[in-house]
Amino acid sequence: MLVWQRTNIGGEVIPHYDFSATDKVVGRTVGRIYRVPQGPSEGRWLWSMTYRPSGGVVDFRQLPLLHGTEDSKAAAVERVGWAYEVMLYAATKER
């Protein structure tokens, strides 16, 4: 189960439109979303799945993209959850 909270970098909480996902079962941060503040993608949500299994067990060339942009926060949250599930499946399959 993923729990979302404001992103904390070096003890400093990022105040606006920046969230991290933690898998509370294993106690690790697995993804991040934030709203793009400016430029051509302003207002879109960037997402990335940041968890990588140790030991080099996953062939990343065989996986779909583990980052991207979405039009809404809800869609970005969904994509992080999906990407994490894909990574967990790939990690168990490769062993």
Question: What is the pTM for the complete model shown?
Answer: 0.86
What is the pLDDT confidence band of residue 15, given thresholds at 50, 70 and 90? Answer: confident
Count CB atoms within 10 A of the CB of residue 28: 11
**Count of domains forming the chain:** 1
Cα radius of gyration (the chain)? 14
Contact between 50 and 33 under an 8 Å Cβ cutoff? The reply is no
Its domain, for residue 57, covers 2-94
pLDDT (tens digit per residue) in 30-43: 999 999 999 999 99
- Closest residue by Cα to residue 86 from 68, 74, 70, 72: 68
